[in-house]
Structure 1
Amino acid sequence: MYQTGNIYLITGIAVTGGMLFGFDIASLSAILPTQEYRCYFNQGGGSMATNDCQGPDASVQGGISASMPGGSFLGAIASGFLSDMFGRKTSVQYGCAIWIVGSIITAASQNIGMLVAGRFINGLSIGIASAQVPVYVSELAPPSKRGRVVGAQQWAITWGILIIWLAKQDRWEDTHNVLALVHAKGDRNAPFVHMELQEIRDMVEFERRNQDVSYFELFKPKMINRTHIGVFTQIWSQLTGMNVMMYYISYVFAMAGLTGNVGLYSSSIQYVINVFMTIPALIWIDRWGRRLPLLIGCTFMGIWMYANAGIMATYGRPAPPGGLNGVPEESWQISGAPSRAVIACTYLFVASYAPTMGPVSWIYPPELFPLRVRGKAVALCTCANWIFNFALSYFVPPAFVNIQWKVYIVFGVFLTAMTIHIFFMFPETAGKTLEEVEDMFLSDVKAWNTKVQYASVRRAEMGDVGDVEKRLSVGHHETSPEAKTEPTATTEAKV
């Protein structure tokens, strides 16, 4: 059977799984303002004939939107057990099968209950994939490219699993061949390939000695700080307001005076900005690091949130009773140049999120944890993401009805708090092997004193024999009876 070692080709194929959540956001956002949706699931007045259906109540619409992240929360919890029982690949395959079932139910929905059920089942799929795909990527990618590929959530899952399955069956010749194909264009004698092979041996030996790990491991004294950082990385990614603003962008643009196709096209521009502004992070995120993008991104997102709040409060006015176009969530209105400023700030907010918090929130958690707990740790972090997604999806429609433009103030305050938290508590992990990350957390170094270490790991990957031999000697040392109980961290990053 034909095999390819081109990681970018494999990434292009694997990206399909990472598109599920984005597909859900874009599709829901697109149908919310349509009369067909509002009339089919109508709970208020109006009719299709008069083109003024109000659609579901605000709280019910929040529940419809929140049903997907609610399912994702449970899917993420289950993924930790599925991954330990069946492996990463099989877990992702289960997620794909669940997605098909949920999509069929959603497409065939005859009422709100059926729609919620279909979206909840889709959420189970997304929860599994979102928790385990980043783990796959971090375990396979070399340290100098780990951020690039995890940020895309697109990596050669099959290669990583193939290597481990082969190694666990002691098929070391096949393992050697796969590593050579992926990392050295088939050169079995490349120094980096030999280093990887040795570290995989160490990792497999370690796994055989440490089979049972529970979630309680994550709350022990030497692990709880990492758990707190990983969990808050995902919580903060939701409290930026990005995903809920993407869900409900139709409300925002309607309040700014955009309706019909103009509103739809304006929403589409936001999605294009999101796609293209993510590209710089995929190219340079391992050189930029993790802290700097997070700090810059949160600062600028906060600026745009406060700006929108100020513009709406100063130049806007309450909408007529019942909301614009008969939609209660469209509770404020603004026009002229100020409305264009709101749209511009919204676009700038997306442009600030896409190369910073967006990819880093998925890159960072897998880098924090040692091998023995990584599957469950990332599952727990992802659960935090989805439970806050659920809460915010439910919160925003009623919030637009009740506090109007002040919704922007709420998210601005969250962004201010996360900027401070990140500066004082989030250390730099970019360019470090996972063993170096382990040592960093066991030391007294302050988060703001940690730096990106890109050059050293890049030299090892490019074949610096001295550095490779040094890392190999560390690997052999780690597996001696007197050594630590962890394999080398580069092993963890690779497998």
Structure 2
Amino acid sequence: MASLGTTVTRSDGAAGLRPVTGVALVAALGGLLFGYDTGVISGALLAIESDFGLSSFSSGVVVSSILVGAMIGAAGAGNLSDRYGRRPVLIASALVFTLGAFLAALAPSAAVLTASRVVLGLGIGTASNLVPVFIAEVAPPRYRGRLVGLNQLMITLGIVLAYVANYALENVTHSWRWMFGLAAVPAILFGVGMMLLPESPRWLALKGRTDAARAVLARLRGRPRTAAVEAELAEMSAGATDRESAAPRTGRWRALTGRSVRPALVAGVGLQILGQASGVNTVIYYAPKIFQSSGLGSSSSILATVGVGVVNLLMTPVGMLAVDRFGRKKLLACGAAVMSLALAGLAVTLAAGGQGSSFAWLAVLFVVVFIAAVATTLNVVVFIIPSELYPLRIRGTAMSATMFSNWTMNFLVSLTFLTLLDTLGGAGTFTLYAAVCALLTVFTLRFIPETRGKSLERIERELTPRAATSA
């Protein structure tokens, strides 16, 4: 990354955007690992069930075990990053990803496989917490939405790569071991890449390391010390000084209960809970089973799942471009409404269709519409919004609380999905998820603030008076 400081141009121009884009792309490899390690189970599960003779419940335990690790990783990563920096904690997560991939590939039993997926979850929880924060803290306000959105693009790419690996290795002996083991390659690349990146300038400013923050900021903006760089640094430093002096001395976790943080926490945590409760990850984890229940065969179900992953990947850049043009709030509200309608259509199709092939492909169509809406709206903003809302002094810790709620709800939804499917049937299950999406629409309009084009420091200043007047 030594070349970051060699380009001298306008920081808001195309050339000036290249250095920070390169940094964001490397950091977003954590998102690729997130996507691959969560998506690979959808195709691997059928072979794992055969090899280990798993029941529906034990299959759910294997699938959801990764979320236990993710909850732990998300809960701990933020506080560590507030203390020691974003970069070293992300490097540590790359080592965890690598270890988890090898353990999963070599697992001799379902119990060991479950434990290895907990290890992988530690890496996923850490990456889901810190990659958006790291990118948001290095990005200029004008392009922050699409740059943080690179994380989601890489997540979807990781899911597609997992689906492709599932399809390509379906008939290979011990195919699921190869599926898991391949994740070690991007994990190593992620670790090496993070070693070459600078630390977040905002974290450096928070720690009083102004000269280091200035040097990093100049490299990220592709220009030497100029008035624009000094102005941006002054805003960071002033915000860090003001917020640090106001921070409670009783600890970062207790600071989350303060009135100044409450509006951001309600928006960030509420978004995670409702977003996960919409059932979006059940499609990622259990897509082949959903398609099989609608009447498709095993091979067709896996192939249709690959198609869903491709739609997810192709629609994500659309959302990345839209989020800085139309804003986070409007995009999410519209997307949640479409998600609700698509799931309602899926529920009606499953109720009326039985096992007919025409109804099976209609179910696939509704899933594709749902995933397209998710990819362009919810999945783009779900990490962007909380990474922008929280005060710098406790940003990592607040993201820990936020992503812990995300992974906890993810765990509950994925663990209960098969049971819901057995109890309520496909129609009842997806009617329930459709209602949650409708509730997400209302929540967005009521509680999510618009942050498009604003500096992180300005967002913090605007939310604080809201907290004071609402107390």
Query: Under a length normalisation based on structure 1, what TM-score does the superposition of the two structures give?
Result: 0.77
Cα distance in 2 between the residues matched to 1:388 and 1:274: 21
- Counterparts of 1:109-124 in structure 2 under 5 Å? 109-124=107-122
Cα distance in 2 between the residues matched to 1:77 and 1:167: 21
Structure 1 residues 433 and 179 mapped into 2: Cα distance closer, same or farther (>3 Å)?
A: closer
Aligned with residue 408 of structure 2, among 387, 409, 413 = 387
Q: Point out the more displaced range, 381-390 or 7-16.
A: 7-16
Structure 1 residues 440 and 130 mapped into 2: Cα distance closer, same or farther (>3 Å)?
A: same
Contact 1:306 1:408 in 2 (8 A): yes
Confirm whether residue 146 of structure 1 aligns to residue 182 of structure 2.
no
Q: Point out the more displaced range, 203-212 or 269-278.
A: 203-212
The alpha carbon displacement at 1:11 in A equals 2.9
The equivalent residue for 1:403 is 424
- Measured on the aligned residues, the alpha-carbon RMSD in Å equals 2.5
The code of the aligned residue for 2:68 comes to: G
- Counterparts of 1:449-488 in structure 2 under 5 Å? none
The alpha carbon displacement at 1:397 in A equals 1.4
The equivalent residue for 2:77 is 79
The code of the aligned residue for 2:306 comes to: S
Structure 1 residues 230 and 359 mapped into 2: Cα distance closer, same or farther (>3 Å)?
A: same
Cα distance in 2 between the residues matched to 1:175 and 1:424: 37
Q: Deviations over 1:280-327 (max 9, x none)?
A: 1222311211111111111000001111111111222xxxxxxxxxxx
The code of the aligned residue for 1:188 comes to: R
The equivalent residue for 1:93 is 91
The code of the aligned residue for 1:369 comes to: Y
Contact 1:139 1:160 in 2 (8 A): no
Contact 1:256 1:342 in 2 (8 A): yes
The equivalent residue for 2:442 is 420
SS in 1 for 2:130: helix
Contact 1:61 1:397 in 2 (8 A): no
Cα distance in 2 between the residues matched to 1:370 and 1:21: 26
The equivalent residue for 1:253 is 291
The equivalent residue for 1:186 is 223
Query: Under a length normalisation based on structure 2, what TM-score does the superposition of the two structures give?
Result: 0.81
Contact 2:82 2:394 in 1 (8 A): no
Contact 2:332 2:444 in 1 (8 A): yes
Structure 1 residues 25 and 275 mapped into 2: Cα distance closer, same or farther (>3 Å)?
A: same
Contact 2:317 2:376 in 1 (8 A): yes
Q: Point out the more displaced range, 249-258 or 174-183.
A: 174-183
The alpha carbon displacement at 1:235 in A equals 1.1
The code of the aligned residue for 2:406 comes to: N
Confirm whether residue 214 of structure 1 aligns to residue 252 of structure 2.
yes
Structure 1 residues 432 and 171 mapped into 2: Cα distance closer, same or farther (>3 Å)?
A: closer
The alpha carbon displacement at 1:373 in A equals 1.8
The code of the aligned residue for 2:225 comes to: R
Confirm whether residue 432 of structure 1 aligns to residue 454 of structure 2.
yes
Size of the alignment, in residue pairs? 410
The code of the aligned residue for 1:159 comes to: P
Q: Deviations over 1:38-63 (max 9, x none)?
A: 22111xxxxxxxxxxxxx21111111
Aligned with residue 335 of structure 2, among 297, 312, 325 = 297
Confirm whether residue 238 of structure 1 aligns to residue 236 of structure 2.
no
The alpha carbon displacement at 1:412 in A equals 0.7
Cα distance in 1 between the residues matched to 2:280 and 2:139: 28
The code of the aligned residue for 1:132 comes to: L
Q: Deviations over 1:94-149 (max 9, x none)?
A: 21112222222211111111111000111111111111111112211111111111
Cα distance in 2 between the residues matched to 1:166 and 1:350: 40
Cα distance in 2 between the residues matched to 1:407 and 1:101: 36
Cα distance in 1 between the residues matched to 2:209 and 2:382: 36
Cα distance in 2 between the residues matched to 1:198 and 1:80: 25
The alpha carbon displacement at 1:259 in A equals 2.1
**Which structure would you say has the larger Rg?**
1
The code of the aligned residue for 2:52 comes to: F
The equivalent residue for 1:323 is none
Contact 1:79 1:131 in 2 (8 A): yes
The alpha carbon displacement at 1:274 in A equals 0.6
The equivalent residue for 2:163 is none
Greater helix content: 2
Gapped regions of structure 1 (runs ≥ 5): 43-55, 317-333, 446-495
The alpha carbon displacement at 1:443 in A equals 4.5
Gapped regions of structure 2 (runs ≥ 5): 6-18, 155-189
The code of the aligned residue for 1:112 comes to: A
The equivalent residue for 1:484 is none
Cα distance in 2 between the residues matched to 1:78 and 1:285: 29
Cα distance in 2 between the residues matched to 1:126 and 1:142: 26
Contact 2:296 2:360 in 1 (8 A): no
Cα distance in 1 between the residues matched to 2:431 and 2:66: 26
Cα distance in 2 between the residues matched to 1:215 and 1:169: 22
Aligned with residue 40 of structure 1, among 51, 65, 68 = 51
